[in-house]
Structure 1
């Protein structure tokens, strides 16, 4: 599946998505541009689905993506049980309108309660 490039090289883009996903899991929501929010939502959905399995293998796979022990613990201990009955749709993108400085479309990416 194609990935948005967002004007960045591969490693920089991957680091951006990992940092946004870590912030999302730690804070429950993150404000960013709309294309970034949509792309991170795709990644977060997959990571939450893996976390719901609860196996050691799934934990290692998520850790290899996020590279942050605190986020992994939040994901497996809190969020996996919170989304236990849901089959998908763990995140929500709320459009905010254009940013004042450059007109970029802004959005809030948050976890569904």
Structure 2
């Protein structure tokens, strides 16, 4: 028995379609697609969200020393001139050491993140800055569904599409 619907596509194309739809669903919270695709995306998204919900509080925080470059008022790095052992002069970025609190994932949460990364593409916003959809899944979406067991998505039927009469639906996070 097949694990997923074939969707009339070769395996690589089918996986690419499903990955892009799952990414859009987690990024935007709602997508419009055909019914067969929506049912497949629903299965994948529900599994990813349930994995994230089970690992929602499974991390620790610790202090880490971080070396950062000093910046001037314009946001440029401050450099200083240094002389080497053989007498040559070169520029070195002036650095400062700070302590920051960082979250450290437990091994099971790290494994869950890696499973989610397999089904999500890297995306950028309209300004070209990268958006980490997996972070959004674990930090925003999963805590929202913490006390819930399944049923994270819903499907609304819109009717047949003009042209090929495929059933169009809206898949959204509840």
TM-score (norm 2): 0.61
Name 1:95's counterpart in structure 2: 157
Residue of 119, 125, 144 corresponding to 1:65:
119
What is the match of residue 94 of structure 2?
A: none
Instruction: After the TM superposition, list the runs of 4 or more consecutive aligned residues in structure 1 that deviate by more than 6 angstroms.
Output: none
The equivalent of 2:99 in structure 1 is: none
Q: CA deviation at 1:49?
A: 0.9
Which structure has the highest strand share of the two? 2
Distance in 1 between the 2:153 and 2:172 partners?
Answer: 6
Q: Are 1:110 and 2:164 an aligned pair?
A: no
Deviation readout 1:6-39 (Å, 9 max, x if unpaired): 1100011011000000000111000000100011
RMSD: 1.3
CA distance in 2, matches of 1:72, 1:2: 24
Structure 2 stretches of 5 or more lacking a match? 57-108, 123-130
- Displacement of 1:50 in angstroms is 1.2
Alpha-carbon separation, structure 2, partners of 1:35 and 1:64: 21
CA distance in 1, matches of 2:23, 2:121: 9
Say whether the 8 Å CA contact 2:154–2:172 is kept in structure 1: yes
Q: How does 1:2-81 map to 2 (within 5 A)?
A: 2-52=3-53, 53-54=55-56, 55-68=109-122, 70-81=132-143
Output the CA distance in 1 between the equivalents of 2:3 and 2:118: 21
Highest CA radius of gyration, 1 or 2?
Answer: 2
Report the more deviating stretch, 67-76 or 85-94.
Answer: 67-76
